[in-house]
Chain A
Amino acid sequence: MSITAALHAAYSCANTKYIDLDGSFDLSKDLVEGGFTLKDGYMQPNNLPGLGVKRI
């Protein structure tokens, strides 16, 4: 959720040049879970209303 919020804010700024996923994570886990996609190291928010995440 915090990742998605940061991505939306980041991509709305023309001077955004760099992004970083902070902290290490388990490589075996699925990294993509709602809100945004991660492909070949590129991050993209989905285009759904709000932050594009659903309450579970």
Chain B
Amino acid sequence: MQILGISVLDFYGKKIAALPTSVTIGIKNAKEMIEEAKGYHALGFRILKIKTGVDVDADIERVHILSEKFANKFLLRVDANQGYSLQQLQKFIQHTKNLDIEFIEQPLKAGDENRFLQLSDTERKRLAADESLLDATSALQLTHPPMPYGIFNIKLMKCGGIKAAKEISVIAEHANINLFWVVTMKVL
């Protein structure tokens, strides 16, 4: 595409101008978490993705602390990394419903998608598939109604490159599923 003199993005057709990125905060104590969040806010970031999934009660407390400490300063996303049971997920949703949480990523183990059917359509729309989504074949399975997820997490490293990612994105688009791209930041 360098020979054509156009960018990869222009080759496919640009649909999005710019989006705000979240930055990821690992599982750490409240004080460290707040310090890290302050640093990100100073750099201009306005969305935090918080790793959770080890202890649901501690997770609920952490998102409440962040919400109170940074009221209206950050939107929150939660990555539970397959760490919850259905009951724990329901507890998390129940106790955080008044907070600005955009979505919850991979709350249950991949393969447990049928358990989501006990959740409402609105609740499922706010769940994002990570480990449940490996390639275009699994993407297609996840579009069978009733759909367990409303969001697909796409990582180029996971699915195998731009072409594979585009296949998943087309499947998602036709099922009215939104995309969440995770771009790995490596500082050498």
A9-40 with Cβ < 8 A to chain B = 9-27, 29, 31, 38-40
> How long is the Cα–Cα vector from A27 to B17 in the complex, in angstroms?
26
Question: Number of contacting residues on B, CB 8 A?
Answer: 59
Task: State whether A6 and B22 are in contact (beta carbons under 8 Å apart), knowing that A15-B178, A20-B77, A45-B9 are contacts in the complex.
Answer: no
CB-CB under 8 A from B76, the residues of chain A are none
Tell me if A18 and B22 are in contact (CB < 8 A): yes
CB-CB under 8 A from A52, the residues of chain B are 7
CB-CB under 8 A from B17, the residues of chain A are 11, 44
Tell me if A21 and B24 are in contact (CB < 8 A): yes
A51 CB, min distance to chain B CBs, angstroms: 6
CB-CB under 8 A from B36, the residues of chain A are 24
> How long is the Cα–Cα vector from A27 to B44 in the complex, in angstroms?
12
CB-CB under 8 A from A27, the residues of chain B are 39-40, 43
Tell me if A22 and B184 are in contact (CB < 8 A): yes
CB-CB under 8 A from A50, the residues of chain B are 1-2, 7-8
Q: Which of the candidate stretches B86-94, B113-121, B162-170 sits at the interface with the other chain?
A: B162-170
Other-chain contact of B25, A16, A24, A38, A45 (Cβ < 8 Å): A24
CB-CB under 8 A from A7, the residues of chain B are 9, 181, 183
> How long is the Cα–Cα vector from A29 to B186 in the complex, in angstroms?
12
> How long is the Cα–Cα vector from A17 to B128 in the complex, in angstroms?
12
Tell me if B156 and A2 are in contact (CB < 8 A): yes
Task: State whether A14 and B15 are in contact (beta carbons under 8 Å apart), knowing that A5-B156, A24-B25, A29-B187 are contacts in the complex.
Answer: yes
- B49 CB within 8 Å of chain A: yes
CB-CB under 8 A from A45, the residues of chain B are 7, 9
Known contacts A42-B21, A49-B2; 14 additional CB pairs below 8 A are A2-B186, A6-B181, A12-B16, A13-B16, A16-B16, A16-B19, A18-B22, A18-B178, A19-B19, A19-B182, A20-B49, A22-B183, A39-B44, A43-B20
Residues of A within 8 A of B (CB): 2-3, 5-27, 29, 31, 38-52
